[in-house]
């Protein structure tokens, strides 16, 4: 499959603007669709590789991916164009929603709508975690670390930093030995 670089920073900006505006509840499927399938800027293998790097770097993975992709093509200008594309319009929309919530959030019908959407959004996050479970290797180690993390955060209410400090070295060491 032939792969072509984007023509300009402007093309990069608009492609990411399209991605940002298309994705509800996560933009990742759209990143793949637009970059790999429509524009053919990268092969599926390159996509997977860059994405897994984005996930290794802390912070929002899609945003890390976008920075790296933009830089690959046009350096700093490319990174800025891609990130601006991804965030500009969604940021605008979310601020408007936020202001509407502040002005009308206390009205009874709005409260009822939100009371219907809140459990759905909780369900979406729970479903995400269950889907991720499916991608993990089936081993005792894995199950143990999922469980320990859950116990530490939800049941013991420990801070994230402490939980990471305790569990991350053990989990990485276990993965290192398991190879």
Return d(Cα 31, Cα 83) in angstroms, integer: 13
Return d(Cα 82, Cα 80) in angstroms, integer: 6
**The only residue of 79, 81, 84, 85 in contact with other proteins, by rule CB under 8 A:** 79
By the rule CB under 8 A, 157 interacts with other proteins: yes
**The only residue of 43, 48, 55, 103 in contact with other proteins, by rule CB under 8 A:** 55
By the rule CB under 8 A, 59 interacts with other proteins: yes
CB of 56 to other proteins, least distance (A): 6
Beta carbons within 8 Å of 67's beta carbon, 6+ residues apart: 79, 82, 83
Return d(Cα 140, Cα 154) in angstroms, integer: 21
87-146 binders of other proteins (CB under 8 A): 87, 89-91, 93-95, 97-99, 101-102, 105, 109, 112-133, 135-137, 141-146
**The only residue of 3, 10, 37, 150 in contact with other proteins, by rule CB under 8 A:** 150
By the rule CB under 8 A, 7 interacts with other proteins: no
By the rule CB under 8 A, 14 interacts with other proteins: no
By the rule CB under 8 A, 148 interacts with other proteins: yes
Q: At what angle do helices 61-104 and 9-22 cross, to 10 degrees?
A: 50
By the rule CB under 8 A, 179 interacts with other proteins: yes
**The only residue of 1, 4, 24, 138 in contact with other proteins, by rule CB under 8 A:** 24
Beta carbons within 8 Å of 57's beta carbon, 6+ residues apart: 64
**The only residue of 4, 63, 84, 103 in contact with other proteins, by rule CB under 8 A:** 63
The site that binds other proteins (CB under 8 A) totals a number of residues, namely 97
Return d(Cα 131, Cα 26) in angstroms, integer: 14
Return d(Cα 137, Cα 126) in angstroms, integer: 19
**The only residue of 7, 38, 49, 103 in contact with other proteins, by rule CB under 8 A:** 49
Radius of gyration of the chain (CA): 20
Output the CA torsion sign for 69, 31, 125, 133. negative
């Amino acid at each position: 499959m032939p792969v072509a670089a984007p023509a300009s920073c402007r093309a990069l900006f608009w492609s990411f603007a399209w991605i940002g505006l298309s994705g509800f509840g996560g933009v990742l499927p759209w990143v793949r669709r637009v970059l790999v399938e429509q524009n053919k800027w990268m092969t599926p293998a390159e996509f997977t590789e860059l994405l897994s790097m984005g996930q290794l770097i802390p912070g929002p993975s899609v945003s890390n991916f976008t920075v790296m992709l933009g830089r690959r093509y046009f350096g700093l200008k490319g990174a800025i164009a891609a990130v601006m594309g991804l965030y500009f319009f969604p940021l605008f929309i979310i601020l408007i929603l936020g202001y509407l919530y502040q002005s009308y959030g206390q009205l009874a019908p709005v409260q009822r709508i939100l009371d219907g959407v809140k459990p759905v959004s909780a369900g979406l996050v729970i479903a995400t975690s269950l889907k991720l479970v499916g991608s993990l290797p089936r081993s005792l180690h894995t199950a143990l670390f999922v469980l320990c993390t859950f116990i530490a955060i939800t049941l013991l209410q420990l801070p994230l930093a402490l939980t990471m400090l305790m569990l991350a070295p053990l989990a990485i060491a276990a993965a290192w030995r398991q190879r």
